[in-house]
Amino acid sequence: MATGIRDKVAIIGMGCSRFGERWDMGAEELMVEAFTECLQDAGIEKKEIQAAWLGTCIEEINVGKSALPLSTTLRLPLIPVTRTENFCASGTEAFRGAVYAVASGAYDIALAQGVEKLKDTGYGGLPNPGSGWGSLSWLWWPNITAPGAFALLASAYAAKYGVSDEDLKRALAHVSAKSHANGAMNPKAHLRKAVGIDQIMAAPIIAHPLGLFDCCGVSDGSACAIVTTVEKAKAMGKKDFVTVKALQLALSNGTEMGYDKWDGDHFITTAACSKKAYEEAGIKDPRKEISMMEVHDCFSITELVTYEDLYISERGKAWRDALDGFYDLRGGGVPCQVDGGLKCFGHPIGASGLRMLYEMYLQLHGRAGERQIDNPRFGLTHNLGGVPYMNVCSVAIIGKYN
């Protein structure tokens, strides 16, 4: 009988490059920057890694279709290396591959790495990104942009719950301002400047009601993790290590587009995925038990709606919780985007999921500097790839080994 992944796999090392417009580096150099930190953190030799997974999304303008760029760049010891791609969950998919591999007993130590190099290509998130996404671009997105799709989500949410335009914009501004305040404290973030709510609300509109500061940017970056079994971590002399509590994935099946039961105000996949993750992790009340989280804030409305899909805010109440500071770093109930989120890191697609886990890992080890949260227990990460009516969702929960 399946028992899930809870406390079967330990994270013994993590690394993260600085995110930004890295004109000085290619994807390979970014991988090396993250891996060097990760290997040192794990305290092992490269030859001990027995298998690896590489997460990248848009291979046409990045590292290519195979996993060879990871193997050759890091000079891995002739081991199995697999490339994964699943839209914005690509990095978390690499992590899932490594985690399941050691949990199965096939390997003792595995590496998961995510990378994306977008800035050199001029890719801004709006044009057709290539044949790999052709079915989406030409069949489903012939006349819509990402800001436009998520603006529809905001409008649907406001209409369903009777939220005024002013209240929604102010709540979204608080979401973004909170992330910028956190990102200003993070030396690895792309954007490191606090921004006030009034400035956010006065910014140009991109797709009503979303303004300039409601949209995350495009960036370059890489992050990685080294994992092993709990038994192996103990044998290595690791103490107070972090384990995977839950790792879930849910993909749209067409319900959102094919039926009239979904009214466009939330993400069906996130609601289903998070429920399974809580069951796997043994969490009964996420509003009280989740210590911190990194969610997929490609747009501020995505983050706001996700508060509810994660069962932390009640339906229709997330905008009030945001205004009340419930998700703020200091004085809040469940701090969100502790490192600045996609809003301040940008979104190098294959790297984002592992970057989120990196912040949770630092926090659980008490190594987050001035961003540090007091006595965190569980850290949650959430990725969402696609659009509200067709998407991929991943939820991971990690925490100290009990």
Q: Tell me the three-class secondary structure of 166-192, residue by residue.
A: HHHHHHHHHHHHHHHHHHCCCCCCCCC
Q: Which residues contact 355 (CB under 8 A, 6 or more apart)?
A: 16, 19, 91, 114, 221, 223, 339, 345
Quote the pLDDT of residue 132.
46
What residues are paired with 223 via a beta bridge? 16, 114
Quote the pLDDT of residue 131.
46
Q: Do residue 55 and residue 109 come from a single domain?
A: yes
Q: Do residue 185 and residue 233 come from a single domain?
A: no
Residue ranges, the chain, pLDDT below 50: 125-127, 129-135
In whole angstroms, give the CA distance from residue 243 to residue 6. Answer: 8
The Cα-based distances of 185 to 230, 358, 390 in angstroms read 33, 15, 35
6 within 8 A of 282, measured Cβ to Cβ: yes
Alpha-helical (H) ranges within 223-267 are 230-235, 255-258
Instruction: With respect to residue 3, please indicate whether it lies within any of the assigned structural domains.
Output: no
Quote the pLDDT of residue 126.
42
Instruction: With respect to residue 105, please indicate whether it lies within any of the assigned structural domains.
Output: yes
Q: How many CA atoms lie within 13 A of 16 on its CB side?
A: 25
Q: Do residue 343 and residue 269 come from a single domain?
A: yes
Instruction: With respect to residue 262, please indicate whether it lies within any of the assigned structural domains.
Output: yes
* Residue carrying the six token digits 């384990």: 243
Q: Do residue 310 and residue 372 come from a single domain?
A: yes
Q: Do residue 188 and residue 80 come from a single domain?
A: no
Q: Do residue 238 and residue 248 come from a single domain?
A: no
In whole angstroms, give the CA distance from residue 31 to residue 350. Answer: 11
SS3 72: helix
Instruction: With respect to residue 385, please indicate whether it lies within any of the assigned structural domains.
Output: yes
Instruction: With respect to residue 1, please indicate whether it lies within any of the assigned structural domains.
Output: no
pTM recorded for the entire structure: 0.96
In whole angstroms, give the CA distance from residue 328 to residue 28. Answer: 35
CATH code, 39: 3.40.47.10
Please give the single-letter amino acid code of residue 196: G
Q: Do residue 267 and residue 278 come from a single domain?
A: yes
Q: Do residue 212 and residue 238 come from a single domain?
A: no
In whole angstroms, give the CA distance from residue 134 to residue 246. Answer: 33
Closest CA to 363 of 372, 355, 352: 372
Q: Which residues contact 136 (CB under 8 A, 6 or more apart)?
A: 386, 390
380 within 8 A of 81, measured Cβ to Cβ: no
Quote the pLDDT of residue 133.
47
Burial class (CB in 10 A: 0-12, 13-18, 19+), 291: buried
Instruction: With respect to residue 149, please indicate whether it lies within any of the assigned structural domains.
Output: yes
Closest CA to 217 of 236, 191, 253: 191
In whole angstroms, give the CA distance from residue 366 to residue 304. Answer: 27
Quote the pLDDT of residue 143.
63
Q: Do residue 185 and residue 89 come from a single domain?
A: no
Quote the pLDDT of residue 146.
86
Residue 285 token pair: 């009340």
Instruction: With respect to residue 258, please indicate whether it lies within any of the assigned structural domains.
Output: yes
Quote the pLDDT of residue 290.
98
Q: Do residue 231 and residue 267 come from a single domain?
A: no
Which range marks the domain in which residue 182 is found? 144-216+244-400
Question: What is the layout of strands, in order, in the sheet containing 378-387?
Answer: 81-84, 51-55, 109-116, 221-229, 9-16, 242-251, 390-400, 378-387, 292-294
Q: Do residue 76 and residue 210 come from a single domain?
A: no
Quote the pLDDT of residue 127.
44
Number of residues assigned to the chain: 402
Degrees, nearest 5: CA angle 158-161-163? 50
Q: Do residue 109 and residue 186 come from a single domain?
A: no
Q: How many domains does the chain contain in total?
A: 2
Instruction: With respect to residue 299, please indicate whether it lies within any of the assigned structural domains.
Output: yes
